[in-house]
Structure 1
Amino acid sequence: MKNNPRTLTAWAYYDWANSVHSLVIVSSIFPVYFSATALNETGGPVINFLGLSIKNSVLFSYTISAAFLFTALLSPICTAIADYSGRKKAFMKVFCYTGAISCSLLYFFTQETTTFAVICFWISLIGWSGSIVFYNSYLPDIATEDQYDRVSARGYSMGYLGSVLLMIINLVVILKREWFGNISEGLASRIAFLTVGIWWIGFAQIPFSRLPDARFPTGTRPDGVQKTGQQTGNYLLNGFRELRQVWGHLQQQPLTKRFLVAFFVYNMAVQTVMYVATIFGSDELKLPGQSLIITILLIQLVAIPGAYGFSRLSERIGNTYALMVAVVIWIFICAGAYYVQTESQFFGLAAVVGLVMGGIQSLSRSTYSKLLPATTTDTASYFSFYDVTEKMSIVLGTLVYGLIEQITGSMRNSVLGLLVLFIVGLVLLWRIPSQKVYGLRLEETEVL
């Protein structure tokens, strides 16, 4: 039964469970610890990794890109198996436990175990991003279309709140080490990595206990169609065949296709801002670490009302127009970032980033859910396509940002590159009618 309050609450708790990885491991404590620990024998940043000499900051960036690329290749295979076996939740569990255990193993990260730690970090990213595709695909299964925006916003809001709560607990341990037996700062940081794994696994039990996990008779798809021998014989090919089939279906769904193209473009800029905001403040504005931590917490807290605010806005003007409002705000953010000079100006921009970050992520997920055909049952394949689109946009967005900085020598010029991406995304969104037209679903409306 859709719109069951207990099921919807349980679903949102997975955001609460896994978002600590994004904040603690990807955005805050782990990057700082990594920079201070992943050093060579003389204390320099150029280290040896699997026989290659590479700067630690570059290795950190490449590890993220490699994880997203690997997940983009792996998720189609897993979603194909999930769709044909009806074991979506089982795959979600595997990715969740893999990522959480890898986070916990970062407790053993020292200068001597840097290679091991990088591999654990890489696997944790795969576990996190891999579980998300199955988590997202549950939305059409547990909620009706009129609830997508609110349910999606609730998930993101709980994720921001949960990650901030654990972040504050970890910061207390790091900043007040005398309360915990005068442990070293390094040990306090490693304890933070351990708590991420425990938190992730622990709270994930709530959705795992309540989310449905339909099982289908052998030889049938979730929609009741008989599976062929060719389809069941090679899951490796099945995964990419599923993506090809989704792409083929998109040719008959022009609005869904247009949205994915627009999403790919503006998400390149959104995700890049999320990953490089701290680096921009540190390298370009020379802000102290404490200020950057405050900035990260500010972004997370403001994102909560932002997600709900844009959900309300979409109810009034429709999803596409609400997304366009968010993209316009992002354009002004990029323009402001180009000229920002002071710490207070940076804090002001960070507050606005948080406001639209929650809104644009939440609305993107719910808009895509609304655009899926009403008869779709293999939602995991469609969300695998969405996930691949998202991951590839992250890879290309960070690549564009880095290349512009490398060529021009300034991150401010890279910000202008992101501004261009937002403008292109806005134009692409303009071609999509907003929400419902004359009571029809989006994909059923006339192509404008």
Structure 2
Amino acid sequence: MTKEERSWILQDFGNSAYSITITTAILPIFFKGVAASQLPDATSTAYWGYANSLATLLIALLAPLLGTIADFKGVKKKLFAAFTLTAIISSALLATVGEGRWIYALVIYIITAVAFNGSSIYYDAFLTDVTTDDRMDDISSKGFGFGYLGGTIPFVLSLGLILSAENLGLTVTFATQMAFLITALWWMVFTIPMLKNVKQKYYIEGEPSKIKESFSVLWKTLLEITKNKMVLYFMIAYFFYIDGVHTVITMATAYGVDVGVDSDRLLIILVAIQLVAFPFAILYGKLAKVFGARKMIMAGIITYTVISIYGFFLKTELDFWILAMLVASAQGGIQALSRSYFGKLIPKNKSAEYFSIFNIFGKVSSIFGPLLMGIVISITGETRHGILSLIILFILGAYFFLKIKDEKVEEIA
């Protein structure tokens, strides 16, 4: 493994701490229990939802333009550094959130979310710079795999600090604030190799265009995608199946509560998913060398189809554990290989622009899965019917993915 590949993987090892600590587990609880403690529960939950929606909208509007600009010589690294450092600093600032400061908390969180997602676009785009096509599946899988491990370590440390706060003579609020500092510090340490060792090898000559011209370039790229059948079918397939993947990830905890799993057990299961997902993500990359990335992505789609069916029959905590382990076995692998498969399809000198579109497809699609579940649950009155409805997304994803007839991937001319 080269120095550039190791540095790229270490960035995922570091930034995954943000995903589990700030996006998924600790900050949402801290926001409701401390920052917005004076607000009614329904109101604070609604405000949290609005903040997430606004952050998603902002990155959706900014990403294509920033991706287009980043493909020019020397720009991608600067934008990656700017977005990453902004995300790290704003994550650390969450430690200054106190009781009743819910507006301040939401503003800081929105900044972290936009900066994190922006940095992720450039991080993904650097995959084409740090490795070769024949190693891309393996490196992408290792990034996801070590990311699960890297996200779990500071989360467990933070959780231990919070649970032991009283024994250590600390308040739970202070311990939680320290968790945000731990997350930011962890992320910063493992960002240094990326900033030091990774360089933009593929680029477009010249200077970044004016905003109007950048949108013109973006439109031209979208037309290129529609003319290349392999890329077009992949993007449509990805839109559907990754929507199903994200929906299972985001709705699993709520579904566990509905079937009677204790909240403490859910937290344990969340950590277990991260630990199990680590080796399985790497395994997907190894198996892709033997069977090809296309077959392994299909294996992931089939696994998630089974998850949707099994979820319908779920009744006990043991059933939920089985469901969680199935999710852990596939979630990293299917995302990692989708990233590397796309990376081999696109022209390397336009990687930031193409990956901005790739990321936007993933984010926009994530709106429809929860919406589909919500509608079905509302009509039937049964949560289990909602998870079963996700089969539609995986069937559509598989249909369009199978339209990619050839395992060989070629760059767009």
TM-score band, normalised by shorter chain: over 0.9
How far apart in 2 are the matches of 1:105 and 1:407? Answer: 43
Query: Which residue of structure 2 aligns with residue 20 of structure 1?
Result: 17
Q: Which amino acid aligns with 2:84?
A: C
Q: Is the 8 A contact 2:20 2:151 kept in 1?
A: yes
Contact 2:73–2:204 (Cα < 8 Å) also in 1: no
Shift of 1:414: 2.2
- Which residue does 2:54 correspond to in 1? 66
Paired letter, 2:172: E
* Counterpart for residue 173 of structure 1: 161
Q: 1:85 Cα shift?
A: 4.7
Instruction: Measure the CA separation in 1 of the matches of 2:112 and 2:192.
Output: 18
Instruction: Using the aligned pairs only, state the percent identity.
Output: 29
Partner of 1:89: 77
For residues 224-258 of structure 1, the C-alpha deviation after alignment (integer angstroms, 9 at most, x for no partner) is 4x67xxx73x22x3443232122121133211110
Residue 186, structure 1, aligned to residue 183, structure 2: no
The AA in structure 2 aligned to 1:150 is: D
2:253 maps to which residue? 278
Of the three residues 129, 146, 151, the one matched with 2:117 is: 129
| SS of residue matched to 1:59 | helix
How far apart are the structure 2 equivalents of 1:397 and 1:238?
34
User: Is 1:415 aligned to residue 387 of structure 2?
Assistant: yes
Structure 2 vs 1, CA of residues 40 and 304 (structure 1 numbering), >3 Å: closer, same or farther?
Answer: closer
2:280 to 279, 301, 306: 306
Q: Which residue of 1 aligns with 2:325?
A: 351
CA apart distance, 1:164: 0.7
Partner amino acid for 2:401? L
Partner of 2:269: 295
Structure 2: 5+ residue stretches without partners: none
Structure 1 residue 398 displacement after superposition: 3.1
The residue aligned with 1:383 is 355
Q: Please, which moves more after superposition, 376-385 or 128-137?
A: 376-385
Q: Within 1, Cα distance between the matches of 2:214 and 2:379?
A: 38
Q: Is the 8 A contact 2:137 2:340 kept in 1?
A: yes
What amino acid is aligned across from residue 276 of structure 2 in structure 1?
Answer: V
Q: For each residue in 1:160-186, what CA deviation from the matched residue of structure 2 results, as whole angstroms up to 9, or x when unmatched?
A: 111111111112101222453x21222
Give distance in 2, aligned partners of 1:40 and 1:12: 38
Cα displacement string for residues 307-350 of structure 1 (whole angstroms, at most 9, x for unaligned residues): 12222222222222211111111011011112212112111110
- C-alpha distance in 2 between matches for 1:390 and 1:183: 41
Aligned residue for 2:141, secondary structure, equals helix
Tell me, in whole angstroms, the C-alpha distance in 2 between the residues paired with 1:241 and 1:92.
Answer: 23
Which residue of structure 2 lines up, in the alignment, with residue 328 of structure 1?
302
Q: Whole-Å Cα distance in 1 between the matches of residues 283 and 406 of structure 2?
A: 17
* Separation of aligned partners in 2, 1:151 and 1:64: 30
CA contact (8 A) 2:144 2:332 kept: yes
- Structure 1 residues 184 and 161 mapped into 2: Cα distance closer, same or farther (>3 Å)? same
| Shift in CA distance, 401/116, structure 1 to aligned 2, threshold 3 Å | farther
1:386/1:139 CA distance change after superposition, 3 Å: same
Residue 37 (str. 1) matches residue 34 (str. 2): yes
Describe the SS at the equivalent of 1:84: coil
- Cα displacement (A) at 1:420: 1.3
CA positional deviation for 1:295: 1.0
Shift of 1:202: 2.4
Secondary structure in 2 matching 1:112: coil
Aligned to 1:397: 369
Q: Which runs of 5+ in 1 are unaligned?
A: 47-54, 216-221
Q: Would you say the 8 A contact 2:35–2:97 is kept in 1? A: no
Residue of structure 2 equivalent to 1:248: 223
User: Which residue of the partner structure matches residue 99 of structure 1?
Assistant: 87
Of residues 187, 190, 199 in structure 2, which corresponds to 1:200?
Answer: 187
In structure 2, distance between residues paired with 1:260 and 1:165: 34
> Please, what is the CA RMSD of the aligned residues?
2.1
TM (norm. structure 1) is: 0.86
> Number of paired residues?
412
Report if aligned partners of 1:77, 1:238 keep a CA contact under 8 Å in 2: no
TM-score, scaled to structure 2: 0.93
Q: Which moved more, 1:332-341 or 1:351-360?
A: 332-341
Quote the offset at 1:426 in angstroms.
1.3
1:433 aligns with 2:405: yes
